[in-house]
Amino acid sequence: MNLKISGHHLELTPSLREYVITKLDRVLRHFDQVIDGNVVLSVDNHREKDKRQKAEINLHLKGKDIFIESCDADMYAAIDLMVDRLDRQVLKHKDKIQGRAHEAVKYRGELQEVQMPAQ
């Protein structure tokens, strides 16, 4: 997986970079068909004071693009919230492509012929 991590109005420290990478490993454990991802960590001065730290990710999967953003007062909490939401979305996509919901229709059996009365 190609992962690009950048900061906007924020100096990206090695500890922040390592924290994002270790958190995203959890997502890759569930679903390994991730092509690439783009993480942007930013600080917005014009937002509410308690939700200035923002973390967003754009993840390109096989067959779908997922965009998640989260805001919090602490950057690490915003990253945690973003990864939790991303994990739920990736698991939902994985269940959808496995197609368990459509197995009952697929293996329903032969359709019985219905004879119409002659008129």
Kindly report the pTM of this predicted structure: 0.76
Show me where the domains of the chain are located.
2-98
Partners of 6 in the β-ladder = 40
CATH number at 2-98: 3.30.160.100
Closest Cα to residue 86, out of 111, 60, 62, 114? 60
pLDDT 10s digit of each residue in the chain, 119 long? 788 999 998 889 999 999 999 999 888 887 777 889 999 999 987 656 667 899 999 998 888 899 999 998 889 999 999 999 999 998 888 888 887 655 555 555 555 566 667 76
**pLDDT reported for residue 100:** 62
Distance CA 103, CA 119 (A): 38
The radius of gyration of the chain's CA atoms, rounded to the nearest angstrom, is: 22
Distance CA 80, CA 23 (A): 8
